[in-house]
Amino acid sequence: MTYIPESANFIPLELVQHKSEPQSISIDEWDRDNPKEECGIFGIFGPGDEVARTTFFGLFALQHRGQESAGIAVSDGSRIHVHKDMGLVTQVFNEHAIESLPGISAIGHTRYSTTGSSVLCNAQPLSCSTPYGDIAVAHNGNLVNTRVLRLELELEGVVFETTNDSEVILQLLAKLHRGCIEETVKAAMHQLQGAYSLVVLTPDKVIGVRDPHGIRPLCIGRINGSRYVLASESCALGPVGAVYLREVEPGEIIIIDRDGQNEIQGMPTERHATCLLEFIYFSRPDSMLYNRSLHQSRRRMGQELAREHPCPGAHVVIPIPDTGIPAALGYSEASHIPYNEGVIKSRYIQRTFIQPSQRMRDMGARMKYTPLKESLAGKKVVMVDDTIVRGTTTDKLVKMLFDAGAVEVHVRITAPPVRHPCYYGIDMANENELVAASHSVDEICKLIGATSLGYLSLEGAFRAVGMHKNKFCAACFDGKYPIDIPSDVRVSKLMLERKHGELAGVK
C-alpha cells in the first residue's frame, strides 16, 4: 500500500508486525441485532512518555466502539512501526508488544468493519512510505466516494492491499504529499466525501481531522499541561490522565508536534450533523458531546419516553444493560414506577476466536443475560432498551422475561424506529434488514411478542438532548441524508471484495 512516484528511487521498509495470517473473526450472533459502529481512534504526541502504553489504555477505554481488530502505530522520530491483529485490545497487545514500540508519538485504532471484511489486512492503523516520510492513518466513519477515488488512484498505478475505504484516504495522502503534511491533509479533505474522523501520524507530528459535517466524534485533551491527545470520545481521556479541552470542530485540522498544538480550518464547516445514535447508543454514558453529558441526555430520553408512552399499572421498570440503564432510570423518575434490575449481563461474553456450538448459539440471550426471577415473577414489567434494528433478538429478551414469570412485558425503546440504512459508518446499509422499514409498530410488537411497544419520537430525542435538529444527522430515522449518497454506494460493506474478487469466501 505504497504510493511511489515513477521518478522516485525509493524502496519502503516492511512496517507491519503481526502474529497470524489474514483470517475472519467470529461474531456472536446475539450481537448482530444492535447497530455497530466502525471504530475508536486515539492519538498522542509525547516525547519521553511511553506513548504505546498510553495509546493502549486509550483504546481499552474505546473498546465498545469496535471489537474485531486493534492496532497501534508508533513513530520513533524517523520511521513508523505498526503492531496490529484481530481481536480485542487485550488480545492483540501484551507487555512484550508494548515494550517493542518505543517512540515519541502514536496513534491507535479499534475496529468494527463497515467497509471491508473483518480480516487482518483491513485492520488499522494503515501505513505506507513516501519520499517525504512515513504516514499512518486511523479512520472512523465511511466515505461515500470510495469507488471513484480508488479507481482514480488505481489508474495512476497504486496497488491496494485492503478492501476498506481507509486505505483510499492513506493512498490519497501519499499521492498528494509534497513535504508539508498540513497542506496535504487540507488538499485531501477537498476530495473526500462522507464521514471521517482521522488521526494521522508522521515521523514528527500527530494530526486530528474531522469532516465538515462532524458526523463522527473527535475530541482533544491534555496531559500535565504539555502533552496533547486525540480521542473519539472524552471517556478515553481520564484513564490516561488527560483533561478534556474541547471537541475538534467540523472541518478542522489539529496539528500536534514539539511546538505544542495548533489548528487550521481544512474546509468550511457545513451544517453540523453529528450522528444522533452517538447520543442514544454508541458513545459511553460518561462521554461528552456538544458539551453535554450523555448520561444525563439518556436519562432525559427515558423521561420523554415515559411521557410519550406511559404504562399505568406497571410494577417495575427494568433496563437492558448497559446502554438502557440511564433511560430506564429516567423512565422510572417520570412515571413514578419503581426501578429495579431485571436482568444481569455477563461482562465476559465478548467476541472471541472460539466458535460457540450450535446449541450455545441457540441459547441466544441466555448466554449474555440472566433474568432475576425475584424482580420479575408476577410483575407487569416495563423493559427499556436503546434500539431495535433487525428485530431478531428483542423477541428472545421478551420471552426470557415471560419465562422468568413476568405477566406483562411492555417494551420501551429510547430511539425512534430505524427505517433507513446508514452510509456514514454504521453497519446497517441494507434496508431489507431493518424491521421498521417494512413493519408497523403494531406488527413489530407482535413479532417480538410484547404486551405493548413504544418508541421515543424523533422530536422527543431532540428535546432530551436540548439542541435543534439541525445539529444532527438522523438519517437512519427520517431518511434525510446530510451528504448525498451515490447510487453505487447503496450496497453492503463487502462491495470492494465483490468488485475485485480479492477475498472470495471471506465471511
Answer whether 253's CB lies under 8 Å from 183's CB. no
Bond preceding residue 217 cis, omega within 30 of 0: no
Answer whether 299's CB lies under 8 Å from 456's CB. no
CA pair distance 317, 411, nearest whole angstrom: 10
Answer whether 100's CB lies under 8 Å from 7's CB. no
The total of other beta-carbon atoms located within 10 Å of residue 282's CB is: 27
Bond preceding residue 76 cis, omega within 30 of 0: no
Residues 6+ apart with CB under 8 A from 92: 69, 70, 71, 83, 84, 85, 86
Residues 6+ apart with CB under 8 A from 83: 16, 17, 18, 71, 72, 92, 93, 97, 100, 101
- The amino acid sitting at 421 is P
Q: Is 473 a catalytic residue?
A: no
Answer whether 40's CB lies under 8 Å from 72's CB. no
Question: How would DSSP label each residue in 342-393?
Answer: -EEE-SS----SSPPPHHHHHHTHHHHEEE-HHHHTT-EEEEEES--SS-SS
CA pair distance 317, 328, nearest whole angstrom: 6
CA pair distance 236, 229, nearest whole angstrom: 10
SS3 286: coil
In 392-458 the beta strands, taken as DSSP E runs, fall at 408-413, 452-455
Residue with grid cell 470492494, as numbered in its chain: 496
Question: How would DSSP label each residue in 32-73?
Answer: GGS--B-EEEEEEE-TTS-HHHHHHHHHHHTGGG--SEEEEE
- The amino acid sitting at 100 is S
SS3 319: strand
Which of the following is catalytic: 39, 121, 235, 311? 39
Residues 6+ apart with CB under 8 A from 180: none
In terms of Cα–Cα distance, which of 193, 273, 194, 289 is closest to 234?
289
- The amino acid sitting at 485 is I
Exposure string (b/e) for 143-166, b if CB count within 10 Å is 16 or more?
Answer: bbbbbebbeebeeeebebebbbbb
Q: CA-CA distances (angstroms) from residue 502 to 70, 117, 248, 398, 499? A: 22, 11, 36, 42, 8
Phi/psi of residue 261, nearest 5 degrees: -125, 135
The catalytic residues are: 39
